Amino acid sequence: MRTDTIAAIATGMSNSGIGIVRISGDEAFEIAGRVFRTASGKMVNISNFSSHTIHYGQICDGDETIDEVLLMIMKGPKSYTAEDTVEINCHGGILMVRRVMETVLKYGARTAQPGEFTKRAFLNGRIDLSQAEAVADVISARNQYALKNSMEQLEGEVSRRVKELRSRILYEIARIESALDDPEHMSLDGYSEELLAKVEDMGGQVEKLIRSADDGRVMSEGIKTVILGKPNAGKSSLMNVLLGQERAIVTDVAGTTRDTLEEHIDLQGISLNVVDTAGIRDTEDVVERIGVERAVKAARDGDLIIYVVDGSRPLDENDEEIIRMIHKNASDVDCFVDQKVIVLLNKTDLQICVEKEELERRTGRPVIPVSAKEQQGIEDLEAEIRRMFFGGELKFNEEVYITNIRHKEALQAALESLRMVESSIRQGLPEDFYSIDLTDAYESLGLIVGESVGDDVVNEIFSRFCMGK
């Protein structure tokens, strides 16, 4: 099947040493031949070049020379898209890259849609859907652990696990259907007990992948971290220490922070999406009250709450309200029992009025003495975050982590179908009931690798990609 030829700028639009214009499709070589001249100024038949070779020359628009370039040739199916592909490496100025791109479009290519190169790689069978999504994750990775996990997925680790499960399920479906079609030659006596053990094992593997999704999300997106505390407790100072720069305004005036302030922080390989909030207190100031409401909402949506206590002042009614909301065994509906909480006893460089043991008893949460001003205790905070979210060790092991919500939903649907099979076996239902739910599990897992997915889902996935990829 012939496809039209697409082109896009594959590098960032900023002044740089090199810019790349990528061309892919049935007429990629023909279009490149219309604009490329060798060093001696001759037009050439690009298709005569060997695959995966680089050639020096110029890009020309008729008699006008646009730029000196290196032309990379990749013949399908041994290319990213599995189609004939040309990459023009030109000088990296914004105007120059655009000029080369405009020339390529003028001579027959069309502008690629976001993610269209990767979409063609998927449609042409070079990668499956989970690998295609991993391409976007590689590009957007925010720390080394997310990057390595995305590379594992790109290399097909998730696909291998899913395809292995699908193969096992398909075998059981075929066995049941064959026995039902030819009961004289294939018996299912004793099969129910055998199948139950297999389905329980497969369900356990699916459950393990689902459980990895929380760690996978934290790994890829970062820990949603909200800093709470009463006014002037040192929240903004802590934010600045974590950032390593003066981002939040710090004064002795209570209520300086009136709204939420959000920043991404890489803390020794741990990605934190930190929100510094307005001080929690009763106030008549309309603007400040809105800030307090936003602080509470941010805490409710977060993964981690860091409660900063001003250790140089006795606990007051504002502290009491926060303690009520964060207590480990709180029962009120407006409390934060689902979030992980760390209490920081701040301003330890001053005379302390609050005891660490008292805070631990009253909150049921770990308490770490710190001084944001003197940058003391921050390493202890990092260690506690690692313990809470990564079992004390921040390292990438051989586990597969699910980082895509679409994959998690498909796994949950597959698990539900497998549990239905278990239920049918225990109730002594006929074997054709097993086949129906096994087929549902098989198809749910197929959504992950793109073998049971509609065009609308495919289009939605690739529409989120960047241009040129």
Indicate whether 247 belongs to any domain: yes
CB count in 10 Å sphere of residue 304 = 22
Indicate whether 29 belongs to any domain: yes
**209 and 229 both lie in a single domain:** no
In this prediction, residue 30 has a pLDDT band, given cuts at 50, 70 and 90, of very high
In this prediction, residue 450 has a pLDDT band, given cuts at 50, 70 and 90, of confident
Which of these three, 341, 361, 390, is where a domain ends?
390
Threshold 0.75, pTM exceeds? no
**69 and 183 both lie in a single domain:** no
Tell me if 70 sits within 8 A of 55, measured CB to CB: yes
Indicate whether 397 belongs to any domain: no
**237 and 322 both lie in a single domain:** yes
316: domain CATH number is 3.40.50.300
Give the position of tokens 């129910």. Answer: 192
Sheet hosting strand 6-9, strand order edge to edge: 36-38, 53-61, 64-74, 85-92, 16-24, 6-9, 110-111
Indicate whether 337 belongs to any domain: yes
Tokens describing residue 105: 């479009």
Percent of the chain with pLDDT over 90: 40
**294 and 165 both lie in a single domain:** no
Radius of gyration of the chain (CA): 29
**19 and 155 both lie in a single domain:** no
The more confident residue out of 334 and 349 is 349
Give the residue-averaged pLDDT of 186-199.
Answer: 88
3-class SS string, the chain: CCCCCEEEECCCCCCEEEEEEEEECCCHHHHHHHHEEECCCCCCCHHHCCCCEEEEEEEEECCEEEEEEEEEEECCCCCCCCCCEEEEEEEECHHHHHHHHHHHHHCCCEECCCCHHHHHHHHCCCCCHHHHHHHHHHHHCCCHHHHHHHHHHHCCHHHHHHHHHHHHHHHHHHHHHHHHHCCCCCCCCCHHHHHHHHHHHHHHHHHHHHHHHHHHHHHHHCEEEEEECCCCCCHHHHHHHHHCCCCCCCCCCCCCCCCCEEEEEEECCEEEEEEECCCCCCCCCHHHHHHHHHHHHHHHHCCEEEEEEECCCCCCHHHHHHHHHHCCCCCCCCCCCCCEEEEEEECCCCCCCCCHHHHHHHHCCCEEECECCCCECHHHHHHHHHHHHHCCCCCCCCCCCCCCHHHHHHHHHHHHHHHHHHHHHHCCCCHHHHHHHHHHHHHHHHHHHCCCCCHHHHHHHHHCCCCCC
189: domain CATH number is 1.20.120.430
**231 and 378 both lie in a single domain:** yes
Give the residue-averaged pLDDT of 401-424.
Answer: 92
Closest CA to 370 of 351, 350, 346: 346
| 142: pLDDT strictly greater than 70 | no
Q: Which of 102-106, 206-210, 289-293, 323-327 has the highest mean pLDDT?
A: 102-106
| 254: pLDDT strictly greater than 70 | no
Which of these three, 362, 390, 418, is where a domain ends?
390
| 66: pLDDT strictly greater than 60 | yes
**48 and 168 both lie in a single domain:** no
Dist CA 156 CA 168 (whole Å): 18
- Max Cα–Cα distance, the chain, nearest Å: 88
**314 and 343 both lie in a single domain:** yes
In this prediction, residue 234 has a pLDDT band, given cuts at 50, 70 and 90, of confident
Indicate whether 167 belongs to any domain: yes
Give the residue-averaged pLDDT of 206-231.
Answer: 80
Structural domain harbouring 277:
222-390
Closest CA to 344 of 385, 303, 316: 385
Decide the pairing of beta strands 85-92 and 64-74.
antiparallel
| 392: pLDDT strictly greater than 60 | no
| 248: pLDDT strictly greater than 90 | no
**206 and 65 both lie in a single domain:** no
Domains in the chain, number = 3
Indicate whether 399 belongs to any domain: no
Indicate whether 469 belongs to any domain: no
In this prediction, residue 147 has a pLDDT band, given cuts at 50, 70 and 90, of low
pLDDT for the residue numbered 439? 94
Dist CA 12 CA 18 (whole Å): 10
**231 and 347 both lie in a single domain:** yes
| Cα separations in angstroms, 271 against 191, 221, 275 | 49, 8, 13
In this prediction, residue 414 has a pLDDT band, given cuts at 50, 70 and 90, of very high
Sequence length of the chain is 469
Among 113-127, 140-154, 189-203, where is mean pLDDT lowest?
140-154
Among 16-25, 203-212, 334-343, 360-369, where is mean pLDDT lowest?
334-343
The more confident residue out of 245 and 73 is 73
- Residue 439: what residue type? T
Give the residue-averaged pLDDT of 392-407.
Answer: 68
**325 and 263 both lie in a single domain:** yes
Decide the pairing of beta strands 340-346 and 367-369.
parallel
Q: Which of 56-65, 255-264, 315-324, 451-460 has the highest mean pLDDT?
A: 56-65
Give the residue-averaged pLDDT of 173-186.
Answer: 84
Mean pLDDT of the chain: 83
Tell me if 407 sits within 8 A of 130, measured CB to CB: yes
| 129: pLDDT strictly greater than 80 | yes
In this prediction, residue 140 has a pLDDT band, given cuts at 50, 70 and 90, of low
CB count in 10 Å sphere of residue 262 = 15
In this prediction, residue 247 has a pLDDT band, given cuts at 50, 70 and 90, of very low
Give the residue-averaged pLDDT of 359-377.
Answer: 89
Tokens describing residue 137: 């994750």
Which of these three, 347, 367, 390, is where a domain ends?
390
Backbone φ and ψ for 64, nearest 5 degrees, come out as -90, 125
| 217: pLDDT strictly greater than 60 | yes
pLDDT for the residue numbered 45? 95
| 284: pLDDT strictly greater than 90 | no
Percent of the chain with pLDDT over 70: 83
**59 and 159 both lie in a single domain:** no
In this prediction, residue 250 has a pLDDT band, given cuts at 50, 70 and 90, of very low
Backbone φ and ψ for 264, nearest 5 degrees, come out as -100, 130
pLDDT for the residue numbered 285? 53
pLDDT for the residue numbered 258? 39
Dist CA 5 CA 240 (whole Å): 50
